[in-house]
């Protein structure tokens, strides 16, 4: 198998300034006392191989080392240890405004950017109209880019990076700066890029995007490449162990605890407690609880979110007219049955709650507490399965 990017023992170390004040006296004091420099490893001991024509998503909390990994792959950062090799021409969009001179116009920066990528001026002249059309900056192309908004920077940078037809495209989270319409335009361009057999590596907090577009995912945490593999598995690992650290989901628990959730099982059709389910099959959520005192008409509810925090659905026993009776006390079990499970492939969060009939008191709530994954059983795309008949 041929690899577009290979890294072995890859690491990048930075020396940090001392904790004392950055004054002349402080500098003399550190020199006299021979204080050793502080060391920070942005990434260390990273080994990976990216096959040609594949797409890899790099995920992890803020400050984990994702952007440093991408910068090392792009060659804009020199490794402190280990090696990294890329085969083919690389185009990258790593940070806002990178490769742009603020005093030059957008038009001039297109040629400057292309020159930095090693593209002949004549080639970029032939591609210029396509770059301009994709960016949508016809009215601003002859204005200095120092007057551009962040979204305009991204439009022009992405247009150049993809139009020069590289073998390898590296993209950081900067795509999140653009508006929704432009993001969709970029994702469509990425699909076309994939169909050409190009190699992509990108950093993203948008876990749904990583799952949809990537062949493989890398999870980086505190400078370590802690997991690599199929996107659903790697994303589920992040959700379980690193959610809330710079992501969109943060598990919370609160309540007065007159009634308390004591145990939760997510059961498949065979009655097995699992964290992964097939779309179209039955999912039973078994909630064991303990009422420490008599409670009149408690309401049991649940809700589901995507890994990006998008609210999918939620209901409760009050809405469904499926109350537990007038009074509960002591141990009990509430089952929530989704049959069939209409969610499509992806990672999700389950929230559970028990509250009073008038919604004034939350007895016990676990928000985004239970991660689980769904696997498709058909090729139909989308977020949910809708009952459909063709006649």
Task: Look at residues 250, 279, 223 and name the one whose alpha carbon lies nearest to residue 349.
Answer: 250
Which phi and psi angles does 71 have, rounded to 5°? -65, -35
Assess contact for 89 and 118: CB atoms under 8 A. Answer: yes
| Predicted local distance difference test score (pLDDT) of residue 79 | 94
Average pLDDT over the chain, rounded to an integer: 86
Kindly indicate the confidence band of residue 248, based on its pLDDT and cuts at 50, 70 and 90. Answer: low
Share of the chain above pLDDT 90, in %: 48
Q: What is the mean pLDDT of residues 78-103?
A: 85
pTM for this prediction? 0.71
**Which tokens belong to 121?**
């001026």
> Looking at the 3D structure of the chain, how many domains does it have?
3
Residue 366, CB-side half-sphere exposure with 13 Å CA sphere: 16
| Predicted local distance difference test score (pLDDT) of residue 25 | 59
Share of the chain above pLDDT 70, in %: 89
Assess contact for 97 and 197: CB atoms under 8 A. Answer: no
Examine the domain organization and report whether 371 and 274 are in the same domain: yes
Kindly indicate the confidence band of residue 209, based on its pLDDT and cuts at 50, 70 and 90. Answer: confident
Whether residue 319 is contained in a domain is answered as yes
Examine the domain organization and report whether 256 and 360 are in the same domain: yes
Examine the domain organization and report whether 129 and 144 are in the same domain: yes
Task: Look at residues 206, 216, 100 and name the one whose alpha carbon lies nearest to residue 159.
Answer: 100
Report which of residues 250 and 144 the model is more confident about: 144
Query: In this model, does residue 21 exceed pLDDT 60?
Result: no
Examine the domain organization and report whether 354 and 224 are in the same domain: no
Task: Look at residues 55, 53, 43 and name the one whose alpha carbon lies nearest to residue 14.
Answer: 43
303 in helix, strand or coil?
strand
Examine the domain organization and report whether 44 and 30 are in the same domain: yes
Q: What is the mean pLDDT of residues 170-194?
A: 80
Quote the distance between the C-alpha of residue 91 and its chain's center.
Answer: 22
- The CATH code of the domain that includes 41 is 3.40.50.300
Of the candidate ranges 138-147, 153-162, 281-290, the one whose mean pLDDT is the lowest: 153-162
Whether residue 367 is contained in a domain is answered as yes
Examine the domain organization and report whether 290 and 228 are in the same domain: no
Query: In this model, does residue 310 exceed pLDDT 90?
Result: no
Whether residue 363 is contained in a domain is answered as yes
Q: Tell me how far apart the 2 most distant CA atoms of the chain are, in Å.
A: 87
**Which tokens belong to 154?**
């991204």
Residue with tokens 């929704």: 180
Query: In this model, does residue 24 exceed pLDDT 70?
Result: no
Which phi and psi angles does 366 have, rounded to 5°? -120, 105
Of the candidate ranges 166-175, 257-266, 330-339, the one whose mean pLDDT is the lowest: 166-175
Report which of residues 252 and 246 the model is more confident about: 252
Of the candidate ranges 55-59, 153-157, 239-243, the one whose mean pLDDT is the lowest: 239-243
Q: What is the mean pLDDT of residues 268-290?
A: 93
Kindly indicate the confidence band of residue 175, based on its pLDDT and cuts at 50, 70 and 90. Answer: low
Pick the last residue of a domain from 131, 166, 201. 166
Whether residue 387 is contained in a domain is answered as no
CA distances from 243 to 61, 200, 205, 229 (A): 8, 25, 11, 18
Beta bridge partners of 173: none
Examine the domain organization and report whether 272 and 333 are in the same domain: yes
Assess contact for 47 and 9: CB atoms under 8 A. Answer: yes
Examine the domain organization and report whether 233 and 330 are in the same domain: no
Whether residue 382 is contained in a domain is answered as no
d(CA 265, CA 269) in angstroms, rounded, equals 13
Whether residue 145 is contained in a domain is answered as yes
Q: What is the mean pLDDT of residues 136-154?
A: 90
Examine the domain organization and report whether 332 and 257 are in the same domain: yes
Examine the domain organization and report whether 358 and 211 are in the same domain: no
Query: In this model, does residue 173 exceed pLDDT 60?
Result: yes
Report which of residues 26 and 162 the model is more confident about: 162
Query: In this model, does residue 154 exceed pLDDT 90?
Result: no
User: What is the length of the chain?
Assistant: 391
Torsion of CA 150, 152, 153, 158, to 10 degrees: 120
Examine the domain organization and report whether 100 and 54 are in the same domain: no
Quote the distance between the C-alpha of residue 166 and its chain's center.
Answer: 24
Examine the domain organization and report whether 130 and 57 are in the same domain: no
- Residues near 221 by beta carbon (within 8 Å), at least 6 away in sequence: 60, 61, 64, 65, 242
Buried b (16+ CB within 10 A) or exposed e, 101-134: eeeeebbbbbbebbeebebeeeebeebbeebbeb
Neighbours of 75 (CB within 10 A): 13
Query: In this model, does residue 221 exceed pLDDT 60?
Result: yes
- The CATH code of the domain that includes 261 is 2.70.50.60
| Predicted local distance difference test score (pLDDT) of residue 246 | 44
Whether residue 49 is contained in a domain is answered as yes
Assess contact for 150 and 96: CB atoms under 8 A. Answer: yes
Q: What is the mean pLDDT of residues 218-227?
A: 93
| Predicted local distance difference test score (pLDDT) of residue 168 | 93
d(CA 199, CA 193) in angstroms, rounded, equals 8
Kindly indicate the confidence band of residue 244, based on its pLDDT and cuts at 50, 70 and 90. Answer: low
Give 330-382 pLDDT, tens digit per residue. Answer: 999 999 999 999 998 888 899 999 999 989 999 999 998 898 888 888 777 77
Domain that holds residue 348: 252-375
Task: Look at residues 342, 381, 345, 92 and name the one whose alpha carbon lies nearest to residue 235.
Answer: 345
- The CATH code of the domain that includes 150 is 1.10.8
Angle between helices 150-163 and 121-135 (to 10 degrees): 130
Whether residue 186 is contained in a domain is answered as no
């Amino acid at each position: 198998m041929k690899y577009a990017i290979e890294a072995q023992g890859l690491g990048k170390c930075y020396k940090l300034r001392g904790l004392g004040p950055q004054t002349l006296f402080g500098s003399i004091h550190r020199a006299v006392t021979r204080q050793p420099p502080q060391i920070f490893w942005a990434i260390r001991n990273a080994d990976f191989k990216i096959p040609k024509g594949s797409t890899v998503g790099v995920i992890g909390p803020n400050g984990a080392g994702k952007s440093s990994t991408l910068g090392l792959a792009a060659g804009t950062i020199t490794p402190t240890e280990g090696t990294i090799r890329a085969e083919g021409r690389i185009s990258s969009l790593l940070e806002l405004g990178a490769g742009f001179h603020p005093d030059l116009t957008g038009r001039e920066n297109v040629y400057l950017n292309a020159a930095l990528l090693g593209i002949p001026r004549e080639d970029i002249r032939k591609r210029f109209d396509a770059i301009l059309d994709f960016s949508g900056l016809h009215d601003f192309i002859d204005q200095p880019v120092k007057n551009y908004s962040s979204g305009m920077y991204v439009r022009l940078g992405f247009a150049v990076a993809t139009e020069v037809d590289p073998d390898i495209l590296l993209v950081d989270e900067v795509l999140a700066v653009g508006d929704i319409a432009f993001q969709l335009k970029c994702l469509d361009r990425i699909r076309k890029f994939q169909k050409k057999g190009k190699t992509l590596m990108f950093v993203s907090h948008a876990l749904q995007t990583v799952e949809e577009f990537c062949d493989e995912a890398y999870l980086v945490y505190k400078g370590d490449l802690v997991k690599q593999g199929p996107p659903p598995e790697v994303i589920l690992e992040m959700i379980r162990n690193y959610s809330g650290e710079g992501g969109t989901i943060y598990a919370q628990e609160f309540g007065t605890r007159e009634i308390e959730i004591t145990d939760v099982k997510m059961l498949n059709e065979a009655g097995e407690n699992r964290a992964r389910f097939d779309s179209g099959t039955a999912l039973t959520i078994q909630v064991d609880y303990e009422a420490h005192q008599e409670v009149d008409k408690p309401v049991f509810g649940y809700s589901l979110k995507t890994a990006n925090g998008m609210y999918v659905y939620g209901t409760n026993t009050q809405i469904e007219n499926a109350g537990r009776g007038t009074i509960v006390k002591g141990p009990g079990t509430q089952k929530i049955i989704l049959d069939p499970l209409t969610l499509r492939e992806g990672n999700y969060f389950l929230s559970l709650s028990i509250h009073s009939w008038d919604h004034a008191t939350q007895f016990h709530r676990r928000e985004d507490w239970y991660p689980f994954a769904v696997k498709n059983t058909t090729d139909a795309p989308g977020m949910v399965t809708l009952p459909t008949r063709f006649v």
